[in-house]
């Protein structure tokens, strides 16, 4: 999921998606361990999604707004 899509979500929804991503990562790691994982890229993609969720949650917590920049001319 792209960062701008995550920023449009409510914090509660982001936390739910973060929880779902952790669960998906756990499943991918289990499948990898048993040799059943077909798409190895899914592990790294899920880790990146988790990092995006956590970063944007921290931005919301700190009141940092990224996205639309207000450049004055």
What does the alpha-carbon distance between residue 53 and residue 1 come to, in Å, rounded to a whole number? 9
What does the alpha-carbon distance between residue 6 and residue 53 come to, in Å, rounded to a whole number? 7
**Which structure tokens are listed for 68?**
């639309």
Q: Domains in the chain, start-ordered, CATH in brackets?
A: 3-62 (1.10.287.310)
What pLDDT sits at residue 68?
55
Task: For the chain, give the number of residues.
Answer: 73
Percent over 90 (pLDDT), the chain: 79
Over residues 16-32, the mean pLDDT reads 97
Stretch (H or E) spanning 32: helix 11-34
Over residues 48-53, the mean pLDDT reads 96
Over residues 26-53, the mean pLDDT reads 96
């Amino acid at each position: 999921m792209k960062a701008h899509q995550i920023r449009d979500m409510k914090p509660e929804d982001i936390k739910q998606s973060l929880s779902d991503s952790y669960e998906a990562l756990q499943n991918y790691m289990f499948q990898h361990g048993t040799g059943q994982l077909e798409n190895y890229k899914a592990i790294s993609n899920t880790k990146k999604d988790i990092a995006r969720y956590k970063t944007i949650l921290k931005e919301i917590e700190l009141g940092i707004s990224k996205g639309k920049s207000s450049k004055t001319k």
